[in-house]
Amino acid sequence: MSLANKSALPKVIELKNKIANITKKGYAFGHQDTTSYGIGWRNDAINYQSDVYAVTGDFPLVFGFDIGQIEHGSPQNLDGVPFDEMKMLIQKAHLDGGIITISWHADNPVSQGDSWDTTPAVKHIFKKGNYHDIFKNWLRKVADFLLSLKDDKGELIPIAFRPFHEMNGFWFWWGNPNCSPAEYIALWKYTFHLLSDEFKVSNLLFIYSPNMIGNTKEYLLNYPGDEYVDMLGLDMYQHGSIKKFKSALKTNIDILKEVGIGKNMPYALTEVGLEKVEVANWWTEVLDEVLVKSGVSWALLWRNHTTGHFYVPYPNQKSAADFITFKNKSHVLFLKDIKL
Ligand code: BMA
């Protein structure tokens, strides 16, 4: 396996191999902001916790974080997680053998609105564009943060970086109706170039991750090329019936798998979930039924924000018992399983 950034550290290729090798045993479980907060608690720098741990006695193997607002030099991200705390949680997860993945809900560089402000912006961020300096300065802040993620020996922590995700959806300023595929590809390449060449960020593995698609062509519509990508992702949430979701998830995973095998790249379900998990056996009868033997490296569930917006059970939640059954399956890998 190779890497897009030829100057990336050997640790990044080790991470890529580790991600690919997970599939020999099954797939990893991931959770966004798992140690930052959960239902009824926030990280207090004393107790290291997670709703996943509270229910199962183990942490996820994949730890998701988001650096939205780092571009402004803000002390905390868009969901109120202080960046200095995030850094410590990343160090701890890495020390324990976890895989770190980072997304970036970047603000709109033109309107200064949030990621969901769809004012056309992409075409203005390139050299000679009116917003080029702003964008480049934002990327410098992103680079500074990523280069500050170091382990206890002072060595950089490898990160699976997932910028400008769900680009085929209408909701982000980098999404297709708000920029063309050609503009998106240019955005990706320019971001890659700034981070890798200009700011010398050497600890990143780049993940391309569209939202749910209908066919391979759609999956690859915004693909910047194998020289700019290390791994393939896909985001997909259940909004309708179980039956419809399972069938669509299966189709989507088949596409992801076909592209992944063709490109010899690991692939993962970079976001998945059913908000509030009101289906008691969702873990074993919906998610695992589709993912078992699918070849995905991981499935990352989104954040546990409030009782109205969460994706992983907390103690006594309706799907908690099934979540334990799911966790105990030998092919579903949590943090302790990597030590086996
Ligand atoms: C979304 C929601 C938002 C959040 C964003 C970034 O899916 O959870 O509330 O701000 O992700 O984490």
pLDDT per residue, tens digit, the chain (340 aa), is 899 999 999 999 999 999 999 999 999 999 999 999 999 999 998 999 999 999 999 999 999 999 999 999 999 999 999 999 999 999 999 999 999 999 999 999 999 999 999 999 999 999 999 999 999 999 999 999 999 999 999 999 999 999 999 999 999 999 999 999 999 999 999 999 999 999 999 999 999 999 999 999 999 999 999 999 999 999 999 999 999 999 999 999 999 999 999 999 999 999 999 999 999 999 999 999 999 999 999 999 999 999 999 999 999 999 999 999 999 999 999 999 986 4
C-alpha distance across the termini of the chain, in Å: 24
The response to whether residue 33 sits with its C-beta less than 6 Å from ligand 1 reads: no
CA of 79, closest atom in ligand 1: 10
What is the DSSP code string of 27-95? EEEEEETTTTEETTEE--SSS---HHHHHHSS-BSEEEEE-TTGGGT-SB-TTS-BHHHHHHHHHHHHH
The response to whether residue 235 sits with its C-beta less than 6 Å from ligand 1 reads: no
Question: Which pLDDT score is estimated for 340?
Answer: 41
Pairing of strands 332-333, 62-66: unpaired
Give the residue, by CA position, lying nearest to ligand 1 atom 4: 79
233's CB contacts (< 8 A; 6+ apart) are 162, 165, 207, 208, 209, 210, 267, 268, 269, 270
Residue 135 CA to ligand 1 center (angstroms) comes to: 22
Q: What share of the chain is helix, strand, coil (3-state, %, to 5)?
A: 40, 20, 45
103's CB contacts (< 8 A; 6+ apart) are 64, 65, 66, 67, 162, 163, 165
> Quick check: 40 and 47 in contact, CB under 8 A?
no
Q: Say if pTM beats, i.e. exceeds, 0.85.
A: yes
Q: How far apart are CA 16 and CA 72, in angstroms?
A: 30
**At 233, is the secondary structure helix, strand, or coil?**
strand
**At 334, is the secondary structure helix, strand, or coil?**
strand
Q: How far apart are CA 217 and CA 228, in angstroms?
A: 18
Report which DSSP code applies to 125.
Answer: S
The response to whether residue 105 sits with its C-beta less than 6 Å from ligand 1 reads: yes
Question: Which pLDDT score is estimated for 338?
Answer: 86
Residue 336 CA to ligand 1 center (angstroms) comes to: 28
For residue 250, count CB atoms less than 10 angstroms from its CB and return exposed for 0-12, middle for 13-18, buried for 19 or more: middle
